[in-house]
Amino acid sequence: MVVHLTLAGLWGGLLALERRAFLQAMFSRPLVAATGTGLLLEDAESGLFVGLVFELYWLGSASLGGVHQDHETLPSVCAAAFASTVSAAAHSPGTTAIWSLAILLFAPMGIAGRAIENALDTRAVRYLGEAMTSAEGENFRRVARQNLWGMWPHFVAFGLLSFAAAAAGYLFEPIERDMPRALLRGLGWAYPVIASVAAGLAVRGSSSKKAAVLASAAALAVLATLAVTGRFS
C-alpha cells in the first residue's frame, strides 16, 4: 500500500513537470499517463481503459506549451490511481463499474488542475525574471536554483493530489463491497456509454466527412471488445 501511494505521488508530480517544464515528450497525455499509473500500481488494465476514455475526450488538445481549458493529465492519473488501488485492495482485477466510477469522480479534476497550474505559473514568473538576470551575469548555478524553486510547487501539488487519489481507492474498497449489485451493474454498463461518447467527440473534432460513421464504428468496437472479454460488472 505504501509503495503504491508513493509511486502514484511521484508519477503524478513528475508528469506535472513533464507537461510544462521539461521534456514535453507526450508522457503526460491521458493514455500514456493513466497506463503508466496502472503499470506502477500493478493494474495496467485499469490504467489503459481509464486512459483510453480520457485520451479520446481530450484528443487533439496536445499541450506542447499551449494553453487549454482543462488539465488533462491530473484526472487521468488520479482516476487510474483510484481504480488501480480499489482493485489492489480487493485483490481482484479491475471492473468496468470501477472504471466508470473513477472517470466520473475525477473528470472534474481537469478544471481544478488548470486553476492550480495557472496559480503556480503566476508564481513561477517571478523566478523566471530572476533566472534571466542571473543568466545575464553568468551565474548559472543560481539560474539552476531559481528554476528549481519555480518548478517544485508543481511537483508537490500534483504529486499530493495523485497520492490522495490512490489513498482514496484503498479507503473506498470496503464501500464498494457493500454497494448494491444493481448499482454496480449500472456503472458497469455506463463504461461503454462513456467511452462511446468520448469516441464520438474525438471523431467529431476531426472534421472528417464520415465522422458519424466513424463514431458509430468506434462505439460498436467498444461494445464488442467489452462483450467478448466479459468485462461488464
Range of the domain at 9: 2-229
State residue 227's pLDDT score. Answer: 65
pLDDT tens-digit profile of 91-108?
988 899 999 999 999 999
For 132-168, give the DSSP string.
HHHHHTT-HHHHHHHHHHHHHHHHHHHHHHHHHHHHH
Please state the domain count of the chain.
Answer: 1
State residue 18's pLDDT score. Answer: 86
Q: What is the pTM of this model?
A: 0.80
**Mean of per-residue pLDDT scores for the chain:** 80
State residue 64's pLDDT score. Answer: 47
Higher pLDDT: 148 or 75? It is 75
